[in-house]
Amino acid sequence: MDTQILSGKVVSESVYKGLKSRIVKLKTNSITPCLAVVLIGDDAPSHVYVKNKTKKFASLNLNSETIMLTNETSENALLEIINNLNNDNKYHGILVQLPLPNHINNETIINAIDPKKDVDGFNPVNLGRLAAGRPSFIPCTPKGIMRVFEYYKIDLSNKHVVVVGRSNIVGRPISILTSLKRKYSNATTTICHSGTKNISYFTKQADIVILALGSPEYLKGDDIKEGATVIDVGINRVNSLSDIGYNLLGDCEFSSINGKASSITPVPGGIGPMTIAMLVENTVEAAENKIK
């Protein structure tokens, strides 16, 4: 079987093309979508990710500003910065890059972001709207996964989706999105996680497997059925002798799944570009809400 590669790069370019007219309309109303990114500490992947976001915003003539803070920044100081951003009309979206230092509570910070500027979609207000089937800002990675299904016309209706991972960033939101009664969704969805006994029992039944574990090459070819679709959200840095000192690996073992799955997202170049595309789209949407 020839496995189809589901390219996030291709899908993201179609997203940017579709946003052009919306951005032009905003600018005719003297509004340029602007994202504020708060980056704390020296986590290398976070710095690379924020750099890529900034580069993409600039290429679309959108505004983004990064507030860089040290690991010693207190929770109260961070809350004050978020409060200022909430009240500054210059910024349409606010993103606090995770992970945060151990002395700062993730939930406290996420709760402090104005839901109308929460373009990451992590605030409980936006997660609650999603759970109720009336989404506002959808978390970027799950939203990007659904856009890949739509672009490649992979209809989930009457299919069994197995999600491996239950985080509020990917696993839980995508389990809701795949089961909503709407086009390209309407699946029967199962969530597996660290408390699930014999995860491969479930993945072998799945028509679509969505991996969001953060465990390199966890899923093998023997763990899926012939013709399944595999969405690999994992981006894991594994030390190597390469020039850059590491390789990027997904949560699935591509070599054993390629040829058995009907389609798969690559790592890199799969869901990663879609996450950034959906962040741009959510920021544009936040700016549009200002003129509604």
- Residues with a catalytic annotation lie at 53, 97, 120
Q: Tell me how far the alpha carbon of residue 136 is from its chain's centroid.
A: 15
Q: Are 161 and 189 in contact (CB under 8 A)?
A: yes
DSSP-assigned states of every residue in 234-283: --EEEE-SSTTSEEEE-SB-HHHHTTTSSEE--TTTSHHHHHHHHHHHHH
Residue linked to tokens 């590491």:
246
Longest dimension (CA), the chain: 56
Residues 6+ apart with CB under 8 A from 213: 164, 165, 234, 251
281 vs 14, 15, 50, 120, 166, CA distance in Å?
12, 8, 16, 11, 24
DSSP-assigned states of every residue in 110-149: HHHS-GGG-TT--SHHHHHHHHTT--SSPPHHHHHHHHHH
Enclosing H/E stretch for 45: helix 44-59
DSSP 2: P
